[in-house]
Chain A
Amino acid sequence: MLKFGLTPVFLSNDLELLSRLKYYLSRQTGREVQLVQRRTYEEITALLLSGQLTAAWICGYPLVQYREKLALVAVPLWREQPLYSSYLIVPVGREAAGIDNLRGDLHAFSDPNSNSGFLVTAALLAERGLKPEGFFRDTIFTYGHRNVVRAVASGLAQSGSVDGYVWEVMASLEPELTTRTKVIRKSELLGFPPVACLAAQANSMDVELVRKALLSMADDPEGLAILSLLKLDGFAEEPQSLYDPIAAKMQLIRNLSP
């Protein structure tokens, strides 16, 4: 049985998407497939590292955190690129030009192991020699990029760090939420959250079946339906170096830590 891990990188726990993905992977690999979902990146990463998952859709940050132990299986293509960026958002009526205006905010992060939902903003502050807990009045983790948008749109948080891909897709699917927020900063393009496996199993038959299934998704009608739901263009094989900028950000905040 193939066990495929999923993180809250998805827009929501869409049952239709999950059932289609499970069906597609089963059909493509010829194996029984189990989708494993957890609330946090940390839990999925832990399952992956402990060998309980064949592969998992994680974030670039955990990938670089465990770059010796983890290997890339495939990277999603969004707008024809394996790249995305992190957005800093505020409520729509608020006057703010950049992160410097967000001092003293209650700031919403997605997940402490999320690149776009935490690391990018923490690194931005680290560049100024600051840490989130000192710069912001308080921070909350919503464990979901959509939740960051909800927190900022409702006024619960005065600002938030969110996955740019998620925000853009939400802008077309749930404009009533995103129109209540305003993007004040878009980060540079960074490696899209990848599907990874244990490095030791990178060449195993199971991983290979999963890779093939993902890479051929754009060529299959069922696969295209899944990509359409995800607003993605397909999956591609990318070098590990795609995630070097993320590794650099990680290093930046590690260097700042006492």
Chain B
Amino acid sequence: MNGKAPELARPSWSFAIKVPVVVVLLMVAISTVVTVRALSRLEASQQKNLEVLSSAYLDGLSASIGPAVEREDVWEVFDALDRSRERYKGLNVQWVTVTNADNQTIASSMPTTFPPLEPMATDTLALFSSEKDVELNDDKAEARMTRPLLYQDQVIGHIYALADISGLVAERTAVFRELVLANVLLTLFLVVFGALFVRRMLEPVGVLSRYFAQGREGSMTPIPSELANRQSREFHDLFDRYNLMATAVNEREQLAAELAEEEKLASVGRLASGMAHEINNPLGGMFNALDSLRRYGAREEVRATSIRLLEHGLSGIRDLVRSTLTSYRADQRPRDLTPTDLDDLRLLVKPEARQKRLRLSWQIEFVDPVHVPAVPVRDAILNLLLNACHACREEGQVGFMARAEEGHLIAEVSDTGEGLPQNVKEYLERDGAGAAPMDRRSGLGLWIVKRHCDELGASLRVVSAGLSGTTLRMLIPLRSDFEDAA
């Protein structure tokens, strides 16, 4: 996997994390609700059971000690309380005390704490509610029970009892712990299951991402059919569609490359034709000069004029050849752009301009070499100039201006053509458009310009485009020393 693959795989990881996290949150929410509900149901059930048991206890005790309380018979009451201890073991009564109507103790199951025939302590009496038979105190894990003893509609005494409900509280705690443990285990299982499931589910997406990432590096690789056959029907279809797309893109790439080659040959042909024309023009004069030399060479003034004409003609041919060599020499190393490099372009464009009798206006506002690679910049500008020549009608005008300012080289090419179509304008201004030609009809000159722009990190803007002509501005950043070193 290349260095960019993890970046592409990020969505699948985030899903693999997101789903378990959502499962955890849902489980926590559900388990909280279930736990709270179960505990409240358990508490209600325990309270009801306790109330029933307490009520039965108080009823039984009331019936058995009623007559003894009336007589305030200490032993009989004590005996009844003592016997009830075994009978109501499940209630876990800590103590029970029976008083007379004045709350004086008759007997208690804890006679040392509540001595017979002495008043009950007021702070103990205050613990008991006058409204309810049974009152639970979870904090102290105790249930307080009280019941008035009636005889012929008269209150003859009271029963006060305290039961230890720590067993019930412990049961609730145990249930709580079991619920929490079960929920934690279930959540963990679902998280692991969810993570594995999502990971497996997103595996084809990862494969697709990987192949797309490879496609960014160059031509797109189809996904092997054995890999596609292992996927579910949906992903199998998706992989098939990807493969169709990859094939189409690759074909288009190949076509574009072929077109570029054709265009290159066409350009070479045009250039050769122009050069032939340029060489041919002075040739007539030069042959005339030779003829004059042959005939009147003895004459001093004729000889001097003919030699000057020959020298002038050969100089022109030499400049043209040198400029061509400069542009198309294959083994060139990156070097800085000089004003001469741009001046040479005028010679290369001139044949094209002359055919349409175009006027060339040329303005170069820098003197020292500029820190941009000379060859691609020249090539890009040459293509823009040739394009401008094509755009102009006969006797039109093509302008060129170049200047260096604020870390950039600015090159502007203008023409007096009919302006740019909107789609061409958008193509030229779109960053990264150099990846592919615009379309076949528009030729490949602009594509070459865009490719060079992408390489140079340059931007291209249509400054004006109307009936009066078009001006394109190329903004090329100057190279830093670091890039040079690289």
Contact = CB atoms under 8 A, between A and B. Distances in A.
Contacts of A142: 75, 79
Interface residues of B, number: 13
B78 A154 contact: yes
Given A140-B75, A150-B82, A156 B107 contact: yes
B402 interface: no
A140 B111 contact: no
A155 B111 contact: yes
A147 B112 contact: no
A114 to B, nearest CB: 14
Contacts of B111: 154-156
B74 interface: yes
A151 B117 contact: no
Contact of A106 (B73, B79, B110, B117): B117
B104 to A, nearest CB: 12
Interface string A26-69: 00000000000000000000000000000000000000000000
Contact of A154 (B73, B82, B117): B82
A155 to B, nearest CB: 4
Contacts, number: 35
Interface in A108-167: 108, 137-138, 140-143, 147, 150-151, 154-156
Contact of B116 (A106, A141, A143, A150): A106
Interface in B106-125: 107, 110-112, 115-117
Contacts of A108: 75
Interface string A173-191: 0000000000000000000
A151 B112 contact: no
5 residue pairs, one from A and one from B, having the closest CB atoms: A155-B112, A156-B111, A155-B111, A142-B75, A140-B75
Interface of B: 73-75, 78-79, 82, 107, 110-112, 115-117
14 contacts: A106-B74, A106-B116, A106-B117, A137-B117, A140-B116, A143-B75, A147-B79, A150-B79, A154-B111, A155-B111, A155-B112, A156-B75, A156-B78, A156-B111
Given A137-B117, A150-B79, A156-B111, 19 more contacts: A106-B74, A106-B116, A108-B75, A138-B117, A140-B74, A140-B116, A141-B75, A142-B79, A147-B75, A147-B79, A151-B78, A154-B78, A154-B82, A155-B110, A155-B111, A155-B112, A156-B78, A156-B107, A156-B116
